[in-house]
């Protein structure tokens, strides 16, 4: 069930906006404060609520949506997500999916504490795949005991961390999918220099030929991020159907590992997962663009969204199939500007 569009009204920095999505890879670019992560979290929350059961009642869906939005965004009250302008504003959200008529429409008011009103919910029978949300940091080192602690204590962490840890603890996939899994894992394991293992005590290790089993705390954080997605591929959570929301895949990765992450993103999309990433890395986006133009990945549907922060609370949106269609992003322009300044600084010494 592919998410085709997301329409918002009075949500955080978006007074009114519509985002279109491709069935393969969707790249959301913008500077800090432009709402990239908010889009990921909003779409993730809706799909997570729908995935709780195959045919949720309206009452159950309203309850699930309210709880998921509260857990993912962690506001003092849901009304804090309504755009802060004068008047008694209401937030409206419309999610439209691939099949005609399949949609989720809901809203909540500025006065809402933890209440969502669903106005439309139409979906096919059968289970909806549970989405995967990867935050900016790795999760393997906090995994041991985290889920049980989260369920029994008030922890100041977003619910996306708990959700991802549940998926990390799933058993390894077996059967006909193993060949595809091995193919997807090959570049990740080459970059990490080993394979990911989960022992009976709930601790993750990187098993390498040169050093043997290494505790995940002793592995570089960039490699731990790759290990996180490798584990989710190995369990089948990122295979055939489903959704991946990845916030700043480039965080804590050097350029060599960013190239591996870019290939993995496209590999996962090609395997049938609808992928959404939020980034302000020019290197990552260019690497994806280079790979996407190769015959290997040319069939993947792509969509790019540029968020331009014109002033606080005002974001302009540009969309298209490539980076050229989304206009200049301030955060990306700074990288290009620095390159120009560096070359200029070297010029006098060369004369």
Helix (H) or strand (E) segment spanning residue 317: strand 314-320
Query: Is the pLDDT score of 351 beyond 60?
Result: no
The CATH number of 1-131+242-330 is which of 3.40.50.300, 3.40.50.720, 3.40.190.10, 1.20.1290.10? 3.40.50.300
Task: Give tens-digit pLDDT for 176-209.
Answer: 899 999 999 999 999 999 999 999 999 999 999 8
Query: Is the pLDDT score of 108 beyond 90?
Result: yes
Give the pLDDT confidence score for residue 158 in this predicted structure: 94
**pLDDT band at 123, cuts 50/70/90?**
confident
Q: Alpha-carbon torsion 225, 244, 9, 108, what sign?
A: negative
Dist CA 309 CA 340 (whole Å): 24
Report yes or no: 61 and 50 within 8 Å, Cβ to Cβ.
Answer: yes
Report yes or no: 205 and 216 within 8 Å, Cβ to Cβ.
Answer: yes
Across the range 100-129, mean pLDDT stands at: 85
Give the pLDDT confidence score for residue 20 in this predicted structure: 96
Dist CA 327 CA 87 (whole Å): 33
Report yes or no: 206 and 195 within 8 Å, Cβ to Cβ.
Answer: yes
Q: Which residues contact 66 (CB under 8 A, 6 or more apart)?
A: 78, 108, 114, 115, 116
Q: pTM for the whole thing?
A: 0.92
- Domain range summary for the chain, segments of one domain joined by +: 1-131+242-330, 133-241
Query: Is the pLDDT score of 85 beyond 90?
Result: no
Task: Give tens-digit pLDDT for 130-167.
Answer: 999 999 989 999 999 999 999 998 888 999 999 999 99
Q: Which residue has the tokens 């989304």?
A: 326
**pLDDT band at 55, cuts 50/70/90?**
low
Report yes or no: 299 and 268 within 8 Å, Cβ to Cβ.
Answer: no
Residue 125 buriedness (CB in 10 A; 0-12 / 13-18 / 19+): exposed
């Amino acid at each position: 069930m592919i998410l085709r569009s997301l329409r918002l009204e009075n949500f955080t920095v978006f007074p009114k906006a519509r985002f279109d999505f491709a069935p393969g890879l969707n790249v959301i670019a913008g500077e800090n404060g432009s709402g990239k992560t908010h889009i990921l979290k909003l779409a993730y929350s809706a799909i997570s609520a729908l995935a709780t059961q195959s045919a949720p009642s309206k009452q159950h869906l309203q309850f699930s949506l309210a709880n998921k939005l509260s857990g993912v965004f962690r506001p003092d009250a849901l009304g804090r997500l309504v755009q802060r302008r004068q008047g008694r504003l209401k937030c409206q959200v419309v999610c439209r999916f691939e099949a005609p008529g399949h949609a989720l429409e809901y809203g909540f008011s500025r006065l809402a504490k933890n209440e969502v009103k669903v106005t439309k919910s139409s979906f096919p029978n059968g289970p909806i795949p549970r989405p995967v949300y990867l935050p900016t940091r790795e999760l393997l080192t906090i995994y041991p005991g985290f889920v049980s602690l989260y369920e029994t204590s008030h922890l100041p962490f977003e619910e996306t961390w708990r959700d991802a840890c549940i998926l990390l603890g799933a058993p390894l996939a077996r059967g006909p999918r193993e060949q595809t899994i091995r193919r997807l894992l090959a570049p990740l394991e080459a970059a990490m220099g080993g394979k990911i293992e989960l022992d009976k005590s709930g601790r993750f290790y990187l098993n390498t030929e040169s050093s043997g089993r290494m505790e995940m705390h002793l592995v570089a954080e960039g490699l731990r991020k790759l290990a996180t997605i490798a584990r989710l591929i190995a369990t089948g959570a990122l295979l055939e159907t489903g959704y991946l929301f990845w916030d700043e895949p480039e965080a804590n990765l050097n350029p060599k590992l960013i190239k591996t992450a870019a290939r993995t993103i496209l590999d996962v999309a090609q395997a049938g997962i609808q992928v959404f990433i939020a980034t302000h890395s020019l290197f990552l986006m260019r690497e994806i663009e280079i790979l996407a133009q190769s015959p290997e990945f040319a069939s993947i549907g792509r969509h790019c969204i540029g968020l331009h922060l014109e002033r606080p609370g005002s974001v302009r949106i540009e969309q298209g199939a490539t980076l050229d269609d989304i206009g200049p992003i301030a955060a990306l322009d700074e990288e290009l500007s620095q390159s120009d300044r560096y070359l200029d600084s070297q010029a006098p010494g060369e004369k």
